[in-house]
Amino acid sequence: MLRELKLLSEPSLKSPLKVTLCLTARCNLDCRHCYADCNRVDAPPELCASEWQAFIDEAMHAGVISFFIEGGEPLLRPDCFELLRLMCPRALTRVRTNGTLVTAALAHELKAVGVGGVYVDFMGARPQTHDALAGVEGTHQLAREAVAHLLAVGLPVTPLIVLNRANADEMSDFLTMARALGVKEVGILRLYPIGRARRRWRELALSLDEQMQVIRSLRPPPGLRYMHSWHPQNGNCCWQMAAVDPYGTSIGCAYLRELVNYGNVREVPFLETWEHPLYRTLRQGKVAETCPTCAAGEGTDGGCRATAFTFHRRWDAPDPFDEPLNAGVDLRELPQWMLESDQRATPAAGT
């Protein structure tokens, strides 16, 4: 079915099914790789509660069935529960958090408001690795306690970890730790060159061979599923995605936050940004190259558009994190244009 939809010359959907709300770019941690570049002193004002409410209402009216809430640390916003109360009864709503604010009482509140699941970020399996990457001591322990509190109230919990040079030898321990905590699913995610990860790319990035070695070596303990973001699980999912950053910019996906600007929901209705020509192009899913196993596994071709564009500066390029399509790209080296300060300002990215 997806394959048939993708072959249409028009985007498949008239409105999005899933939306990510990047509620804030504030955080109580200071991660070395933070994609949201949290706590920038020069950040513009974030959307207030009434602006988010208006956006949520428009999204619901347009038929959105699932919200994904992230930050920064979304639980830092005093109006976080006010917004969750709007979303939870009407759509599957999941929250991503660093876990540091999740007490037993807050876990109960999340359950009571109707959250459908919680993703908790780990930076490493070992406390010293996690705390060093997060920039705050004791936060590995708090993330572990958060998982326990959330499981205790019956919420599905998925610990997440971003594979990078500092934690690459801890992935197996991460699976063991997660299972011991009682979860049934974890996610191992690739490192994206955005925010502080872009600026620290040489320190954090691994070659594709190094990444695949880690992924192939994993043997999850019985009872634990793990998802990851490499071939053949790295589908081109732009066709269904929408996201809005803390400042109201419609960005399609949180991983595209520094590459596109489809308009601002403060100034235009969200559905107007949905019709931006580049957004329409990405939702058509046309790529110059793909591989049969990718198409067979996902029904969408060519892998992630964010990393395809980053390394090739073409939206229809192959995703170099996809082994069959890598074609010799060294993922440890970012192209020069990515090292510049504002990729969104470049004509190639914005049109």
Footprint of ligand SF4 (CB under 6 A): 27, 29-31, 34, 36, 38, 71-73, 98, 121, 134, 236-238, 241, 253, 255-256, 304-306
**Residue 146 Cβ, how far from ligand SF4 at the closest point, in Å?**
12
Question: For residues 22 and 178, which CB has a smaller minimum distance to ligand SF4 in the complex?
Answer: 22
* Residue whose token pair is 């107007």: 272
**Using CA atoms, how far apart are residues 133 and 289, in angstroms rounded to an integer?**
36
Question: For residues 54 and 101, which CB has a smaller minimum distance to ligand SF4 in the complex?
Answer: 101
Question: For residues 91 and 282, which CB has a smaller minimum distance to ligand SF4 in the complex?
Answer: 282
**Using CA atoms, how far apart are residues 130 and 147, in angstroms rounded to an integer?**
15
Structure tokens at 29: 């941690």
**Residue 165 Cβ, how far from ligand SF4 at the closest point, in Å?**
16
Burial class of 41 by CB neighbour count within 10 A (0 to 12, 13 to 18, 19+)? exposed
Question: For residues 121 and 215, which CB has a smaller minimum distance to ligand SF4 in the complex?
Answer: 121
**Residue 67 Cβ, how far from ligand SF4 at the closest point, in Å?**
15
**Residue 256 Cβ, how far from ligand SF4 at the closest point, in Å?**
5
Question: For residues 191 and 221, which CB has a smaller minimum distance to ligand SF4 in the complex?
Answer: 191
**Residue 270 Cβ, how far from ligand SF4 at the closest point, in Å?**
16
Helix (H, G, I), strand (E, B) or coil at 98: coil
Q: Of the candidates 125, 118, 234, which has an alpha carbon nearest to the alpha carbon of residue 172?
A: 125
The widest CA-to-CA distance across the chain, in whole angstroms, is 52
Q: Of the candidates 238, 242, 96, 234, which has an alpha carbon nearest to the alpha carbon of residue 156?
A: 96
Segments of 87-127 assigned E as strands: 92-97, 117-122
**Residue 17 Cβ, how far from ligand SF4 at the closest point, in Å?**
12
Question: For residues 237 and 278, which CB has a smaller minimum distance to ligand SF4 in the complex?
Answer: 237
Q: What are phi and psi of 158, to 5 degrees?
A: -125, 105
**Using CA atoms, how far apart are residues 107 and 81, in angstroms rounded to an integer?**
12
